[in-house]
Amino acid sequence: MRWRGALVGLSAVLVAACGSSAQRHVTLSLLGSTTNRNAVACGSQQAFANYPAPAQVRFTGVVAPVPSGRFKVKLKLKRCNGRNYVDADSQKLVGESDGRFDGEFTVMQAGAYSLRATLEGDGRPESPKSYLQVG
């Protein structure tokens, strides 16, 4: 009988440690690319959205569940420099009341880039990286 109570208590601790369905998730989508193709950059193969240079790279994303009150999302653009992606640009956006955020980067230099969105605060959840090729 004591073991059953210990197992129930341990299960509750494990569920709490793993998080709940209320954890925030960030999604990010690139808009306006001319084509998509698989390519290798910085040592790994990815699906790249292609843009002519100079590029206006538009994006949209969603934070779910929607944060209560005002929230900010940081977008970080990184450029492939040999075998690593290095910081190229960043911006912070205030999200909409429905959890959506939108914006754009002007990318002048040809190359391979990654873009990721991070919710400021609240555990700093991040979107998966999106990849783009300019040029």
pLDDT per residue as tens digits for the range 50-72: 999 999 999 999 999 999 999 99
CATH (one of 2.60.40.10, 3.30.420.40, 3.40.50.740, 2.40.50.140) for 22-134 = 2.60.40.10
E strand residue ranges, 18-83: 25-31, 35-41, 44-51, 55-64, 72-81
Which residue reads 């929607």 in tokens?
A: 66
Q: Tell me, what's the pLDDT at 30?
A: 98
Q: Tell me, what's the pLDDT at 121?
A: 86
pLDDT tens digits along 34-54: 999 999 999 999 999 999 999
Q: Tell me, what's the pLDDT at 38?
A: 97
> Does a cis peptide bond (omega within 30 degrees of 0) precede residue 65?
yes
DSSP letter at 84?
E
Whole-model pTM: value is: 0.81
Q: Which of 90, 89, 99 is nearest to 27 (CA)?
A: 99
Q: Tell me, what's the pLDDT at 105?
A: 97
